[in-house]
Amino acid sequence: MDLDEGINLMKALLVGRGFQLYSQIWSDQPPLFTYLLAGFFEQFGYQVNQGRLLALTFSAVLIWASVQYLRLVWGRMAALSGLVLIALLPGYLSFSVSVLIGLPSLALAILSMLALVLWHQRRQPGWLWLSGLIFSLSIFTKLITAFVIPIFVIGLIVDAYHHNQKGSPLTWDVIRPAFTWACSFGLVSLLLAVA
């Protein structure tokens, strides 16, 4: 469907055959999707439709996470409207089955944002750790989502400031949620970079 789709399929095929990404295979993208696609091919067969099935799975995750986010923040009507609008986006249906890395990266970023919303509602640090972990996977799929990092961190600090100590200077209680998220993101990113 797209030149980039062919490149992604060829990279995954070569990785599955034992060639080394970045030393024997040229790539200007992070490695996670290539390795995931190669593993998917290894399990289910080396066919284009298998790669498109993986892309469709990420598309389903994107739609599910978006609808859950809208439901939790704005209510059921917003979630239903969002579902319809996503489906009507120009080109979304073809992108949702194309073996491209943008949609998986976006799906993981939205899933990470959903975990942040759940943290805001429940105040359990596990949601921060999960959000940071998933966002690290998004970055190692495609770097385009990196611009969201300061938005997440500043949002966590502002929320903690208003929730805990309105009117006080920055304290550990205000910085702790952002620090927890950043530690999760940083540790997973470091592990992925070393691997």
User: Which pLDDT score is estimated for 42?
Assistant: 93
Q: CB burial class (10 A; 0-12, 13-18, 19+) of residue 135?
A: buried
Measure the CA–CA gap between 87 and 42, rounded to whole angstroms.
31
Single-letter amino acid, residue 27: S
Residue 26: C-alpha distances to residues 20, 64, 84 (Å): 9, 34, 39
What token pair was written down for 176?
A: 């702790």
Decide: 182 and 153 in contact? Cβ < 8 Å: yes
Q: What is the Cα 131 distance to its own chain's centre? A: 9
pTM of the entire structure?
Answer: 0.92
User: Which pLDDT score is estimated for 147?
Assistant: 94
User: Which pLDDT score is estimated for 165?
Assistant: 59
Query: pLDDT tens digits for 138-180?
Result: 999 999 999 999 999 999 998 888 877 555 667 878 889 999 9
Measure the CA–CA gap between 69 and 78, rounded to whole angstroms.
10
> Which is more confidently placed, 184 or 90?
184
DSSP-based three-state secondary structure for 25: strand
How many CB atoms are closer than 10 A to CB 146? 13
How many CB atoms are closer than 10 A to CB 75? 11
Backbone phi and psi for residue 133, each to the nearest 5 degrees, phi listed first: -60, -50
Query: pLDDT tens digits for 13-62?
Result: 999 999 999 999 989 999 999 999 999 999 998 899 999 999 999 999 99
Residue 174: C-alpha distances to residues 130, 131, 160, 166 (Å): 20, 18, 5, 10
Measure the CA–CA gap between 182 and 71, rounded to whole angstroms.
26
Mean pLDDT of 112-141: 96
pLDDT, mean over the chain:
92
